[in-house]
């Protein structure tokens, strides 16, 4: 029996290269002289960022407490934070906290400075190989479709890539639904991924 394993970033890039009849690469460390492979890797990264920014069970954390920096009172966001959503708590009346200039910003008081801790929900960016398999597969297949269209142009194969992408999207939604254990009583901002129109999201 073949030794099956999770899709790696290298596997995803080689899948993309295969769609244009290009030779596989052995690693992603040095892509000098392999412009197609470099383009494929960039598209994979951009697609991963776009997909993850929607917010999923695997990259969303709730009730994250962020503390102001001593001396400045500012709360800086890590480079891997794709989105934050402030929430009100029993101890805090925070209402309108957003991200601005890679920091939390209080729109109600027009300031970056906070006297107290802030509680937020976060959506975090993860490297490709830290994602669940369903997400890796969808990102890889969508990236392959985008890569093929940009390098070769939309043609007969485009329809087949769309079908594969649609199947991978359905599998990702099924994974999200099963792992998230959603019910009709969940908050809309959590349940929106499962309820999103698959066709619209797929081709956007």
How much of the chain is helix, strand and coil, in % rounded to 5? Answer: 45, 15, 40
Burial of 1 (C-beta count, 10 Å sphere; 0-12/13-18/19+):
exposed
pLDDT digits (tens, 9 = 90+) for 134-146: 999 999 999 999 9
Please give the C-alpha separations between residue 134 and each of 20, 63, 170, in angstroms, as whole numbers: 24, 26, 10
Q: Percent of the chain, pLDDT > 70? A: 80
Residue 92 tokens, joined: 């805090």
Give the pLDDT score at 31: 79
Tokens 């107290």, located at residue: 116
Residue 6 tokens, joined: 């999770």
Give the pLDDT score at 94: 63
Q: In this predicted model, which residue has the larger pLDDT, 186 or 54?
A: 54
Query: Per-residue pLDDT for 91 more than 60?
Result: no
- Domains of the chain, by residue range, sit at 9-53+127-203, 59-124
Three-class SS of residue 130?
helix
Give the pLDDT score at 9: 96
């Amino acid at each position: 029996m073949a030794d099956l394993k999770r899709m790696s970033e290298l596997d995803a890039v080689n899948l993309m290269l295969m769609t244009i009849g290009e030779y596989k690469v052995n690693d992603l460390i040095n892509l000098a002289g392999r412009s197609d492979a470099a383009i494929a890797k960039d598209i994979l990264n951009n697609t991963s960022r776009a997909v993850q920014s929607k917010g999923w069970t695997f990259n969303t954390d709730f009730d994250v407490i962020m503390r102001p920096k001593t001396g400045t009172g500012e709360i800086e966001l890590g480079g891997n934070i794709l989105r934050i959503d402030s929430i009100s708590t029993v101890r805090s009346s925070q209402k309108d906290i957003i991200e601005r200039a890679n920091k939390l910003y209080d729109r109600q008081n027009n300031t970056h400075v906070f006297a107290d801790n802030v509680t937020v929900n976060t959506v975090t960016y993860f490297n490709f190989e830290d994602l669940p398999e369903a997400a890796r597969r969808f990102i890889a297949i969508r990236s392959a479709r985008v890569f093929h269209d940009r390098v070769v142009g939309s043609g007969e194969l485009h329809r087949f890539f769309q079908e594969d992408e649609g199947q991978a999207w359905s599998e990702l939604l099924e994974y999200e639904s099963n792992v998230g254990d959603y019910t009709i009583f969940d908050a809309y901002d959590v349940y929106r991924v499962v309820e999103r129109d698959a066709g619209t999201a797929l081709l956007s």
